Amino acid sequence: MKGKRKKEEWAGNLWDEGFSGHKVQKSRKRAAILISFIGFCFFAISIRLFDLMLLQHEALANRANRQYLRTKTLKPQRGVIWDRNLRELAINVEVDSLYAVPSEVSSIEALSSGLAPVINVSYNKLVSAISAKKDKDFIWVMRKMDEETSHNVTALKEREKFKGIDFVTETKRFYPKGQTAAHILGFTNIDNKGISGLELQYDEYMRGTEKKVFMGKDARGKSLAPGIEDELAGSSMILTIDEGLQYIVERELSQAMSDWEAAAAVAIMIRPSTGEILAMANMPTYDPNLPGESVNDNKRNRAITDMYEPGSTLKAVLSSVAYEEGVVSLNQMFDVSRGFIVVGGKPIKDVHRNGVLSFQDVIKKSSNVGAVQIGMKLGKERYYSYLKKFGFGDRTGIDMPGEVSGILRSPARWSGTSIGAISIGQEIGVTPLQLVRAYSAIANGGLLMKPYVVSEIISDTGESIKRNTPVAAERVMSARTAKVITDILKGVTETGGTGKNAEVAGNLVAGKTGTAQKIDPNTGLYSKNKFISSFVGFAPADDPELALIVVVYEPKGATYGGVVAAPVFRRIVENAFAYLNIPMEKNENHIMLVDNSR
């Protein structure tokens, strides 16, 4: 009632002011239309806002972010590799990579003619590379260039005012010690992915994970502060390798290559009590900073990828097994006076004629005939089972890629001559690592250790992710047998032994020489002029600090392990002992007293 009265009053007022009823009616209509229109507009806007703010929220927010924010992918640096004394073996440096935006290049020909001589690429190649992707926004011109080239390109770009080329900073793997430990470290490809060696084996740890960050940019595309400080890095590694020992081994091996004009040479130094690899060297070698400049053959880590017939170096294993099984005693004598023995219808000869030899002298003088007699007493089943226990025919499990298992046939596949051949280190394929590991077991009182190269992996925040500790894989002989065999092996490097040249002044060495004929791939028979000379042993014999194997492939001028490999062994051990501050055991009468008065 009250509302109706108000309306009438309002109409009366309008009437008073000269409006006719018709006009009022019309105005009301107009107002209703206007109100409806405004209402509709609000409704439409609401619908649109609902659509924009709720339904399309995510897509539009992303679009806005793309306009305002720049996404940058932070690539982690590869972890550092240190030796056991925390000396850097593999690090990262930042270098420039040159890219082009072909759509922005005004003259491909002019750019190519200027750039080609500076970056040392042919003009035609550069023109065709840029022209082929003319419509694209990005093309690599040269990645990871050196400082000098980068400076020259910058100068050229400024001088000639070239448009459409620019630099981006990338991380490059750098091996500051050059060729040192090249086969252990391996190398990476242009994208910093591990290709060989430890770089490959531990790639997952070392490469780290990429991270995307957003940073504001202005209208010109200039980046604002990213608001992050952290640099990404993969995990780093501490090796068991000692750079100093590695250098000594490589230096002496290189010298041996030159002295004997050998085809190749390998040396592995291992700590017998733990299985830690202290040094592992291969010759010929390569520079991991320039892997493309070496042939693939030089990049092969023969220490674990190549097997060979160990020859007489296997006699130490044979004698330890025979002694452990009680088939021979220290005083037992072997008649080798005929100079040969027939096994399976084939004669096996001694290099030098001997008379009757004791068990110790069979090893000391490396008598093939005596070794065959020991092997036949032992029997193929027992010998085979021990060879397996020593790890022959199986991978050692070292944390490096490409290891082979070698060849050790089961007794069922042995021929009539096999027991004789395997007793003198033929018809069996071993890697240098397998053999030095077996000798380490003798040095370690009969415990066969698992070899390893990486001691610890540390995350980018400094936490220890993985720590390798010594693992005893197997007890292959009693401590007593190990002591007896050690004493026998000491005799090898003494006067009358085949390994006299391995004798180290002031310290006792236990070891064994080996000379094996290579198999001629053309005839399938033993070659008459291609040999593999080796020496494997440990020192100081009674408290071994290191075991070492030296293998020289195809030496010229001499073939015997005692002549070719034993001197290399001696030089390495002498230098290593000086480096490690291991005193001379002999000459104790040189003890001096000095006046302490000050």
Partner 1 sequence: MTTRRRKQNKKWMLLKLGLFIYLIAGVFTIIWFRTEVVSLEYELGELNRQKTGFIREQRLIMAERASFYSVKNIEETAVKVLGMSPPERKNIYYVERTEGAVPYKVSLNKP
Q: 187 to each of 179, 290, 291, 294, 357, how far by Cα in Å?
A: 11, 9, 7, 12, 51
Nearer to partner 1, 72 or 389 (CB): 72
What's the distance, CA 436 to chain centroid? 20
Angle formed at CA 453 by CA 451 and CA 458, multiple of 5 degrees: 130
The nearest distance, CB 459 to partner 1, in angstroms, is 20
User: Which own/partner contact pairs does 338-347 have at CB distance under 8 Å and 24+ positions apart?
Assistant: 338/369, 339/369, 340/369, 341/368, 341/369, 341/372, 341/373, 341/420, 343/372, 343/376, 343/416, 343/417, 343/419, 343/420, 343/421, 344/415, 344/416, 344/417, 344/418, 344/420, 345/416, 345/417, 346/417, 346/420
Nearer to partner 1, 404 or 584 (CB): 584
Please check whether residue 217 is in contact with residue 70, taking contact to mean a CB–CB distance below 8 angstroms. Answer: yes
The nearest distance, CB 489 to partner 1, in angstroms, is 22
- CA–CA separation, 310 vs 371, rounded Å? 14
Other C-beta atoms closer than 10 Å to the C-beta of 167 total 16
Nearer to partner 1, 242 or 350 (CB): 242
Nearer to partner 1, 117 or 583 (CB): 583
Nearer to partner 1, 244 or 291 (CB): 244
Binding stretches for partner 1 (CB under 8 A): 87-88, 91-94, 147, 169, 174, 176-178, 180, 216, 218, 222-226, 231, 243-244, 247, 251, 505-506, 574-575, 577-578, 581-584, 587-588, 590-596
- Taking the CA of residue 449 as centre, how many other CA atoms within 13 Å lie in the half-sphere pointing to its CB? 25
- CA–CA separation, 281 vs 284, rounded Å? 9
The nearest distance, CB 410 to partner 1, in angstroms, is 46
The nearest distance, CB 72 to partner 1, in angstroms, is 12
The nearest distance, CB 251 to partner 1, in angstroms, is 8
The nearest distance, CB 412 to partner 1, in angstroms, is 50
Element (H, E) at 572: helix 561-580
The nearest distance, CB 306 to partner 1, in angstroms, is 26
Of 276, 238, 236, 262, the residue nearest 84 (C-alpha): 238
How would DSSP label each residue in 41-65?
HHHHHHHHHHIIIIISHHHHHHHHH
Other C-beta atoms closer than 10 Å to the C-beta of 213 total 15
The nearest distance, CB 408 to partner 1, in angstroms, is 38
Nearer to partner 1, 412 or 593 (CB): 593
Nearer to partner 1, 170 or 259 (CB): 170
Of 378, 316, 309, 370, the residue nearest 340 (C-alpha): 370
Nearer to partner 1, 245 or 485 (CB): 245
- Taking the CA of residue 63 as centre, how many other CA atoms within 13 Å lie in the half-sphere pointing to its CB? 6
Please check whether residue 329 is in contact with residue 359, taking contact to mean a CB–CB distance below 8 angstroms. Answer: yes
Nearer to partner 1, 213 or 404 (CB): 213
The nearest distance, CB 109 to partner 1, in angstroms, is 34
Pairing outcome for strands 276-283 and 526-539: unpaired
Nearer to partner 1, 121 or 213 (CB): 213
Structure tokens at 422: 């395997």
Nearer to partner 1, 92 or 113 (CB): 92
- Taking the CA of residue 14 as centre, how many other CA atoms within 13 Å lie in the half-sphere pointing to its CB? 14
Can you give the length of the chain in residues?
598
Angle formed at CA 51 by CA 45 and CA 56, multiple of 5 degrees: 145
Other C-beta atoms closer than 10 Å to the C-beta of 10 total 11
Q: What is the CA radius of gyration of the chain?
A: 39
Among 112, 196, 235, 312, the active-site one is 312
Q: Is 358 a catalytic residue?
A: no
The nearest distance, CB 287 to partner 1, in angstroms, is 12
The nearest distance, CB 550 to partner 1, in angstroms, is 20
| 269 Cβ neighbours under 8 A, 6+ residues apart | 245, 249, 277, 278, 279, 280, 546, 547, 548, 572, 576
Other C-beta atoms closer than 10 Å to the C-beta of 500 total 16
Catalytically active residues, by annotation: 312
